[in-house]
A and B are shown apart, each in its own frame.
Chain A
Amino acid sequence: MGKKKLKVGFVGCPPEDILAPYREHRLIDLDNHYPAVRRESQQKLPATTCAIVKRIYDNALAFKPDILIFDQGYGKCDPARMVSLLLKEELGMPVIGTDNTSMAGKGTPVSDSSLPLRKKVEIILDDLVKPRRRTVHPEKAPKAGIWGVPASDFSLYDLFPDGTKIYGWLRCLENRTPADLDLECMVDPEIPVVFFSQAFCHKNILAKHLAKKYNGLYFDLEENISGTIRAKVEAFLRFRGVV
């Protein structure tokens, strides 16, 4: 008789040696957006909580994983760490806390590839759950870059040309070094870059600073991109000769 598959929720980028034993079970990335999940977090969490952290809470309640693997160190964030405490105390979920400080990078071929930007982000996130061997082609002359964490609204990515280079925490995620601040801050100065951060996230400090340093465009976003943000990004890409 087959072994029962556990529902294993994970947050952030836990070390592979912790995730590996659970790869034959059902792994659920609790950072991701699942449209059918009900929102309960507004009653529990302050309004000024980042939408991704709220999402982690809502997803955990909806999926009720048997085990929660929570990366809690510099590779994730303190608000997420607080929520892991809530989930452990209030819902009795067993939480395996991890602290992924690995600097052994696996490389960033997808971030640097010629693929459409939306496809790149989907691959990076899917590979966390189900790693696959892929052949991708490098983009030799990227016209634009985007810096940040995975956006809650993927239509943002459709504004950019194919081969747009990925920077920031999403790059660190592909590299499997989520706490690598040097890599997170790495930007090619000659490429026009859009620096985006989730509203209420501490990464706004970095996004705003780097946008000023590299003459990029900075904005923050809570959930869905507005017509204004869309127009701002389009204008930036047009003024910088990208489109």
Chain B
Amino acid sequence: MALLADFGTTWTKLIDTETGKTSIERSSVIDIHADLATGNNARTRSQASVNELIALYEGGLTSIKEKDFIIVDIGSRDLKYIKVVGERVEQMDWSTSCGTLTGFTLELLAGYFNIDYNTLEPSNRVDPITCGLLGIERLFERLANGTSIGEAVAAFTRSIALNAYHFIGRPEKFYLSGGMCENRLFISSFSDNVEVIPLGRFVLLDGVIKEYERRLKKK
């Protein structure tokens, strides 16, 4: 029996290998120690840790049947992607700059404006932003100039989507992992000719499971 985890910045995804039960808890309130984990807090909260990019790769191989694919994980404060060709990693990257350019900011805005992203329509604006802080500044400028909250937030969301799209090399199709899978506005902010396939929030945890099984076999 083992407790495996993906300790995200905001949300922790857990699995008990004995019961198979999974859960999602707020990282700030949870007080557990895992046997094997990935994520921002894995080193301090588990016996052993798995590199997040490796967890993403292994989790991607579990969920995706194609030999060639791009998988992107967008979490609270960062963006990771892997391009796999013939089941081998051809390219990878992990944005380390400006944590406000990701899920944390969208969650913050949802709370601040009391909005549900799944009820908003995507914006038509194409407005690249170099930094999440500058993007928020522009959002409030728009509000001050009379733009509705829904349109301003939708425009900001589209900017984040555009940045992510450029960061991963502008593919025609990619798989999405992480909390953004539940944000209909974010997914529909990509152009119509881009196919986005959400995989849910447990991809990295699937990668941890695979790594756990591999380590068990080695023993």
Bound-state CA distance A215–B96 (Å) is 19
Please name 20 further chain A to chain B contacts, defined as beta carbons within 8 Å, in addition to the given A238-B54, A239-B53, sorted by A numbering.
A215-B90, A215-B91, A218-B93, A220-B97, A227-B40, A228-B96, A231-B52, A231-B53, A231-B94, A232-B53, A232-B93, A234-B51, A235-B52, A235-B53, A235-B54, A235-B92, A236-B92, A238-B51, A239-B54, A239-B88
Bound-state CA distance A150–B189 (Å) is 41
Whether B89 contacts A239 by the Cβ 8 Å rule is: yes
The residue from A220, A228, A240 contacting B94, defined by CB atoms under 8 A apart: A228
Whether A229 is near chain B, meaning CB under 8 Å from some CB there, is yes
The residue from A226, A234, A235, A239 contacting B96, defined by CB atoms under 8 A apart: A226
Whether B156 is near chain A, meaning CB under 8 Å from some CB there, is no
Whether B78 is near chain A, meaning CB under 8 Å from some CB there, is yes
Whether A231 contacts B43 by the Cβ 8 Å rule is: no
Bound-state CA distance A231–B56 (Å) is 12
Question: Could you tell me the distance in whole angstroms from the C-beta of A241 to the nearest C-beta in chain B?
Answer: 10
Whether B51 contacts A235 by the Cβ 8 Å rule is: yes
Tally A residues with Cβ within 8 Å of B.
17
Main secondary structure on B side of the interface with A? mixed
Bound-state CA distance A232–B51 (Å) is 8
Bound-state CA distance A16–B47 (Å) is 53
- For chain B, residues 23 to 68, give those with C-beta under 8 angstroms from any C-beta of chain A: 40, 43, 51-54, 57
Kindly list chain B residues whose C-beta atoms are within 8 Å of the C-beta of A229. 96
- For chain B, residues 84 to 122, give those with C-beta under 8 angstroms from any C-beta of chain A: 88-94, 96-97
